[in-house]
Structure 1
């Protein structure tokens, strides 16, 4: 299976994916929601959701860990989830804690086999290195890598990042986006921002 648009293959009501976001699932026979999204039941209401924006690129084998702490409490004497174990749950307390929705912004690139932990927010334009383990929120247009993932650098200046966040190119009419694809496939951010601002007047 080669890369494909994720939205076209989502059946889990707890997963939301924006337009044009694709998964390059070359190495796996299963679809994104079956291989990449762990412990998120399609049948449960009120659970933490996975929300992914538009124009994201998700590398093969990226993993989204959901369902909070899955009943494991590190501040109890045992981390074992007795509450969820038949024959042992009669007097057990439920240690499950929600972590909140996992949110991936727009134009985010997630490298192959990266792992995103529950409740993390990855902001617009961020880049997640291959096999990174993301345990904390990632700022806009920031490159992170490692285990745990740490900031490597910002993709653009703070002023340029602010302007990109203001114009939200991913929300523009697709015909405007098509018009500027050649410019978007360059590093001429100054010209791109100028042209898009002109379109928005």
Structure 2
């Protein structure tokens, strides 16, 4: 089988797996980072205190109203702190997952280059790639040949560009469908 096709297939599979894992990680983070019972309790307390505060007249029962207002302010501050902690944990979890995905992609690229290091991936007539032929043929060294490092780099960027174009065209299609329905 042609080395160029094998490398392209491996890179395509890893890119598809990366996209799948990125989408799955969003759902995984939402499962891992559930709202804590403390956050839920604080939200309920804030709503109850707001209802009580709305029922109490500030002019008739000033002391009770002021006490409720202080309590509401304290519970609201605790709620904000708890929510902030949850959001920070979710952000850190997403960061670790994205970092893991990126490291695995890097290691896959390195492994592919290593496996096919001495193989000629693509041969074209000599001087066809004139200004860049030495760089493209790096480990092989013959003019007109393309080595694995250059092929992995070019294929990876071509696939990323293709995915970007597909995503952009899908977004335009969904936008035009929304406008048509309106």
Q: TM-score range by the shorter chain?
A: under 0.3
TM-score (norm 1): 0.22
Which structure is richer in relative contact order (CA contacts within 8 A, separation 6 or more)? 2
Structure (1 or 2) with the greater strand fraction: 1
TM-score (norm 2): 0.23
